[in-house]
Every structure is written in structure tokens, then in C-alpha cells.
Amino acid sequence: MLSVIAWRNIGRNRRRSILCITAVGIAVFFIIFMNSWMDGMFIGIENTVRTYETGHVLAVSEGFEAEKEYLPVQFPLEKVFGGTEDYFSDDELIRLAESLPEVRGALPRIQIHASLFDNVVKHALVWGIDIDREREINHFNLTKRTDGLVSGRFPANDANECVIGTVLAEKAGLRIGDRIPLKTVSAEFSDKYWSPEITGIFEFDYRKMDEDTIIVPIDRLQRILGLGDRAQQLVVFAHDQRDSERIKAGMEQLLGDRTVIRTWTDNYWVAMYRSMTWLYYIIFGVFQVVASFLIVNTVLMMIHERIKEIGMMGALGMKRAEIVFVFFMEAVYLSILGATAGVFLGGVATWVGSQFPFDMTTITGGGMKDLPVSGTLYLVFSPTMLIQNFFFGVVISALCTIIPSLKSAFVEPVEALRR
């Protein structure tokens, strides 16, 4: 009976009820939307880092790790047998890594800085990869889930060919069939001049790669740099990213002490964004606090306007606990209605955002080049997140009504009727 009374009270002042429902709904909606946005940012950064930089596990030599900002090529992955240094070949690296059951694939890579001649663009990053194996394991364009090639073809193995990004091609005025005069430094510290032919243009939807990178076959780059069949980095991909630490431990046993092995979670950007999680919780909390204060003020106003009604309820014999229950349940009903509206709007908005991504380049004006994030952002649609935020909105909003609800119980019937 008391619950029915509380439900009927909602319709007695529709303006007040709509105000309270709107406050809760807006808070829940923004919490869901921001949560979905930040999850999309995190996932985008993590996917970009794993695809282009670390895989799930990255192995390099100690020498490379000490000077990694210069991308030195004179420190290939090394090993020690009886005090004698030797080097891992590509095939040996792949065989050792893929002997672990958790490993989906292992890819040797080389990255070097290069100087360009006769062009407005003076510097670029040359990326030597096993193109066929990379395309089997990775989607270079994370937005479209493709290899990213928009015209032409990828270079043939050991050919003096390359592909470049759309932004680099536009800035440098280059087309398929042109040659790019380059200078790089070999493992013997000698200058190497070469002019690979452009066979294709790619768009990875990652500004850094599209603007700065020239992709060449790894075997060709190894020969130019004097590396033989040795690799600078080994990028390992897992069947399940949760096995990254297990793969790292296995790789440390296989490759020895002279190798530095890190998981993708050790990446600077991934670690930084994960460490800032507390900031996002504060932002979420601000929305809920604002809504909660509005709910408290609404309930206090509701009680103040209904002093005579409270006195009448007491005069008719209702106990204080019953009066508190009526006002508390009324606030709970309003919270449920508001949270339901917020979850519905938030669910629709995040589902649409998960199907039609935001163009981050347009939003930021191209200012995200240095961040490992693709040019588009997909929101994360999660039914679990919607359910969690529904209960979060109901519980928090309902708890905020306890004090004003208790206030109604201590209004003396005689004093209330006198007013």
C-alpha cells in the first residue's frame, strides 16, 4: 500500500517529477557516453601499439634498448654460447617464438631513420617487414580491417621497391612509378644511398604511418644495411592477449639474458593512459554528484511543499518509518525512471557510435599525430556497461534521498497542520 502511495505521488506534481527524472537521466547518459568514449580511446591506442610497435611481446637486444630512440641497426638480436657472441637469424627467431603454444605468429622487423633528397620532405622512417607474413597476421588499417593499400601493390620480396603513405605521397608530390632517393646508415656505420621504386600507396588511418613511413621488404633492407639474415626486432603476437606475460617468460628462457623482452602493457602510452584511469572516474563522479545534489534539492522541495500532507499522514496514525518509506520509495521510483531513460539514450548513442566512428582528425585538427591512435574512434557498445550504470544511477540517486526522506519523519503533525 505504501509503495502504491509513493508511485501515485509521482503524478501529483509532474513538473517536479520530470525535473528529477531528467537530472538522473542526464547524469547516467553522460556517464555511459564518456565511459564508452574512453574505452574506445583505450582500445584504439592498445590496438595501434600492438599492431605497429610491440605486438603482444617485443624482443630486442640490450644494445638496441639502450639507444632505441635512434633506432640503431648495429645491435641485432644476439645470443651467447660458451662466452662466444652470435646472432639469431630470421628463421631461427620465428622458429623459437612459434614453438610456444600461446604464440599465434612472430614477425622480424627493422626500423631506421632515412634522409630524402630532391624533395620538400627531408626525413622519413623506413620500415622493413616480411610483407606476406604481416598481412596474414595484421590488419594495417584498423578502421576498415584491411591491409590499407589504396592503390598499386605491395613490394615483391628482395625487390628495390616500396610503398608510401597517402599523406607522404601528397606532401612529397610522389606517385606510383616514381623513385625516392634515400640515404641510410648501415650496421657498419657507412652511408647507403638507394632509390626504391614506389609500387603502391597505403592509408593506415594512423597519421604517423601515413605521413612518415616508407615500407620496404625486410630482406632487401637487411642486404642494404649489411645485416645478412639478422633482425633488429622480433614482434610476437599471441592467440590471447592475456597470455602476454607467459609468452614473455618463455621468450626470456629461449633467447637468454642478452635480450630485452617487454609486453605491450609496458609501452609508454598504454601505461600512461592506464595510470590516468582515476582521472576519468573523477569526471564520472562529478556528473553523478551534480545530479545527486539536484535530486536532494528536489526531494527537500517536495517535502517542504507537502508539510501539511506529512502532518495529515502523521495525524492519521502513520508511523515515522512509514512516512520515510513513502518518500524514499517515491525518490527510488524517480531514480529508476531517470536511470532507464539515461540507459536507453546512452545505449542508442553508443551503438550508433560503434557503427559510425568519429573522425578524430577533423575533431582535433590533425593534432593527434604523436599519439598512437588511429584517425577514427569507435565508441564501445557494451550491454554490461549499460546494466552497471543503470544500477549505479539508481543506487547512488536513491542513497542521496535518505537524509531528506528522514527529515520528513521528524515533522510534528500539529506543527505541520498549523503551517
The domains of the chain are located at 2-48+274-418, 72-231
609508454: which residue's cell? 268
Task: Tally the C-alpha atoms within 13 A of residue 243's C-alpha that lie toward its C-beta.
Answer: 13
Secondary structure (3-state) at 129: strand
For residue 161, give the C-alpha cell: 621497391
Mean pLDDT of the chain: 83
Segment 231-249 shows an average pLDDT of 92
Query: pLDDT digit string (tens) for 43-95?
Result: 888 888 899 989 999 999 888 998 888 899 988 887 654 455 667 788 888 89
139 closest CA partner among 232, 56, 47: 47
Distant-in-sequence contacts of 187-196, Cβ < 8 A, 24+ apart: 187/73, 187/74, 187/76, 187/225, 187/226, 187/227, 188/74, 188/226, 189/74, 190/226, 192/224, 192/225, 194/160, 194/224, 195/160, 196/155, 196/160, 196/161, 196/162, 196/220
Lowest mean pLDDT, pick from 6-20, 50-64, 74-88, 140-154:
74-88
The tens digit of pLDDT for each residue in 198-221 reads 999 999 888 888 888 999 999 999
CA–CA dist 27, 292 (Å, integer): 9
Residue range 242-252, pLDDT digits in tens = 999 999 999 98
**Residue 386: partners with Cβ closer than 8 Å, 6 or more residues away:** 32, 343, 346, 347
**Global pTM value:** 0.77
DSSP state of 276: T
CA 174-175-179 angle, to 5 degrees, is 70
